[in-house]
Amino acid sequence: MEPRYVQQFKKGSLEMILLCLIGRGETYGYAILEELNRRSAVLGWAKEGTVYPILYRLQGAGLIQCRLAPAAANGGAKKLYALTEQGRETLRELLRFWDAYSACVEGFISAYREKEESE
């Protein structure tokens, strides 16, 4: 079990990660999980129980939309997610903020490291 602050940190950025992932092109639930789990070494294993509530929230906020496409293998249907125009605009804003934010955090970190190294 990882520390609580790491969990909180990841939880906060997962919405943005999902928006980026869906923004690359229409995709469906299992593919999203696979894509996340390719980076499980850092992100930890993604589970449906974490991802679906976020998908529902993003959909409720009008940031993503979905459509059902027939799936050949099981005779059922796959739900394909895509960004809405509002979602694309929100993601642009989020990324602008993220750039400024990470530069700011990086400033604190490098100042700390410099101090640590000088001691």
Partner 1 sequence: MNEYIREVEKNLRLPRRKRREVLRDLCEIFESAREHGEREADVAERLGSPAAYAAAVSVPLRGKKRSGWALPSALLALAAACFAVFLAAQTSRPPENVIGQADVMTQIRVAGGMDPMPLLLAAGALAAAGAAVLFALRLRRGRKEKS
Q: Which of 11, 13, 40, 48 binds partner 1 (CB under 8 A)?
A: 48
47 near partner 1, judged by CB under 8 A: yes
Q: Is 57 in the site for partner 1 (CB under 8 A)?
A: yes
- How many CB atoms neighbour CB 70 within 10 A? 8
- Give yes or no for residue 56 binding partner 1 (CB under 8 A): yes
Those residues whose C-beta lies under 8 Å from the C-beta of residue 78, and which sit 6 or more positions away, are 28, 29, 68, 69, 70, 71
CA distance 109 to 76: 50
| Amino acid at the residue 72 | A
* Residue 30 binds partner 1, judged by CB under 8 A: yes
In angstroms, what is the minimal distance from the CB of 45 to partner 1? 8
CA distance 83 to 86: 8
* Residue nearer to partner 1 on the CB measure, 79 or 96: 79
**Residue ranges binding partner 1 (CB under 8 A):** 28-30, 47-50, 52-54, 56-57, 60, 71, 73-74, 76-79
